[in-house]
């Protein structure tokens, strides 16, 4: 199995962004939903994104945004991709020059239908359902269901991933990529350097 891409999400600090990039992150996620404890001002994210290596993609996480807000923030920060994590349609950003990830809640066998409604040019991100916090819950999803979706299309796996379980998650689901946030934090928006290093070590072993 090829090594999975790793997106480290909920970044708010320079040291965390640079460490994640140095450890091998493919993408860094900035949350632009003001109700999130991991919210970062677009101007701050823009400054952080300018320091990322060219091969690390800055990704903006949005919840039910207006297209105009996505366009404005994406241009300011220099986003490579947009992650839609609310109830907005997966096609919201069609016509904009960014790769798109669309969050789909893992809810039993209905997950296959929900993922199937996402057009093929959009990457599905499987996460635990939480209509209040919209991600970063620390709750794992049903990997058996996730594996069924991953067998059919390219996905990112999220939901409670941590150094203690990421190896098993990769072996079971075999996703294209994984998304980690709360599992490597000391508190929301502040990563724990030791756990972040351990996470990448476990990914490399898998």
User: How far is C-alpha 89 from the chain's CA centre?
Assistant: 18
Is 127 tagged catalytic? yes
Q: What per-residue confidence (pLDDT) applies to 86?
A: 93
For the segment 44-74, what is each residue's pLDDT rounded down to a tens digit? Answer: 999 999 999 999 999 999 999 999 999 999 9
The arithmetic mean of pLDDT across residues 36-48, rounded, is 97
Q: Tell me which of 9, 16, 93, 179 is the catalytic residue.
A: 9
Domain containing residue 85 = 5-205
Return the minimum-mean-pLDDT range out of 78-82, 131-135, 166-170. 131-135
Q: Tell me which of 15, 16, 22, 127 is the catalytic residue.
A: 127
Q: What per-residue confidence (pLDDT) applies to 136?
A: 52
By the 8 A CB rule, do 48 and 17 touch?
yes
Give the count of domains, the chain: 1
Q: What is the CATH number of the domain that holds 151?
A: 3.20.20.70
pTM: 0.93
Phi and psi, residue 60, nearest 5°: -100, 130
Is 9 tagged catalytic? yes
**Any residues with CB less than 8 A from the CB of 143 and at least 6 apart, and which?**
157, 168, 169, 172, 173
d(C-alpha 181, C-alpha 195), whole Å:
11
CA end-to-end distance (rounded Å), the chain? 9
By the 8 A CB rule, do 51 and 17 touch?
yes
């Amino acid at each position: 199995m090829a090594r999975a891409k790793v997106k480290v999400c909920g970044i708010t600090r320079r040291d965390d962004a640079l460490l994640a990039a140095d450890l091998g992150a493919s993408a860094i996620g900035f949350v632009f939903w003001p109700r999130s404890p991991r919210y970062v001002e677009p101007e701050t994210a823009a400054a952080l994104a300018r320091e990322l290596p060219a091969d690390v993609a800055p990704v903006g996480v949005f919840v039910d945004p207006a297209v105009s807000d996505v366009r404005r923030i994406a241009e300011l920060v220099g986003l490579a991709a947009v992650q839609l994590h609310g109830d907005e349609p997966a096609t919201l950003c069609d016509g904009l020059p960014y790769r798109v990830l669309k969050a789909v809640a893992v809810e039993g066998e209905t997950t296959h239908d929900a993922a199937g409604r996402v057009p093929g040019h959009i990457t599905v991100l499987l996460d635990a359902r939480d209509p209040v916090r919209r991600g970063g819950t620390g709750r794992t999803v049903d990997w058996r269901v996730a594996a069924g979706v991953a067998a059919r299309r390219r996905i990112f796996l999220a939901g409670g991933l941590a150094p203690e379980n990421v190896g098993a998650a990769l072996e079971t689901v075999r996703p294209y990529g994984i998304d980690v946030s709360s599992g490597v934090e000391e508190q929301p928006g502040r990563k724990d350097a030791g756990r972040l290093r351990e996470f990448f070590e476990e990914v490399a072993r898998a």
